[in-house]
Amino acid sequence: MNARIPDETLNQLLLGELDSSCYQCDICLDEDLVGTNMSNCGLTSCPNYACSFVATRSSPTSTAQCNNGWHFTSGCILSRELAQVDMTLMYYIRSKTTVLYQMEAICLSNNCNNISTFKELKDAITVDPDLSCLINETSSTTTSAVSTTSSLPTTTSSPPTTTSSPSMTTTTSSSSAKQILINRKLFILIIVSIYITIKY
């Protein structure tokens, strides 16, 4: 199981020298992130600390109702944190579709916690599972929840690397009709954490 964002994208978007400010937002975004204008967001002083954002796909049960778009909040973290991305996504095996539900990121350059950063990180996600063995309408239904953690140490002498440690649980149903219905909606839940280690 491999769900990741390319190292060069992480380095470009999350690393830097923060000596001024971060965007401060609490807004709704459209589902496709067509607009990346930050004019509805202010700036907050954040020298030498870290910027962050949280983007959550809106749903009928979410606190912020954004018409099925994204609830985007951002601001300054008043401590020096590691640059990182945490995300929750769903992978549908049959359609080979990845759906991102939430992304949280910490970045370390001026005003880096903007909508463009979120869109570029989102668009750069890749998922590469080999799970074709789970799709079998003549056998029992299998639904897998997978939790993955990736660490990306960054140094000046060698490129970052990614490691994954998936754990998988399965459940079985004996009902053929129910099994076919569920198989058509078969998905993998992936929770990914990506950390970039930097020198202070």
Determine, yes or no, domain membership for 13: yes
Angle (deg, nearest 10), helices 115-123 and 7-14:
170
Q: Is residue 9 helix, strand or coil?
A: helix
Determine, yes or no, domain membership for 122: yes
Give me the pLDDT at residue 111, please: 96
Give me the pLDDT at residue 66, please: 85
The domain of 22 spans 3-129+190-197
Reading the chain (200 residues) residue by residue, the pLDDT tens digits are 677 899 999 999 999 999 999 999 999 999 889 888 899 999 999 999 999 999 999 766 556 678 888 999 999 999 989 999 999 998 888 888 888 999 999 999 999 999 999 999 999 998 877 666 666 654 433 333 333 333 343 322 333 333 333 322 222 233 344 443 444 445 556 677 776 654 44
DSSP run (H or E) holding 158 = none
Determine, yes or no, domain membership for 162: no
Q: How many domains does the chain have?
A: 1
Give the global pTM.
Answer: 0.71
Determine, yes or no, domain membership for 44: yes
Distance CA 71, CA 114 (A): 13
Determine, yes or no, domain membership for 81: yes
Determine, yes or no, domain membership for 25: yes
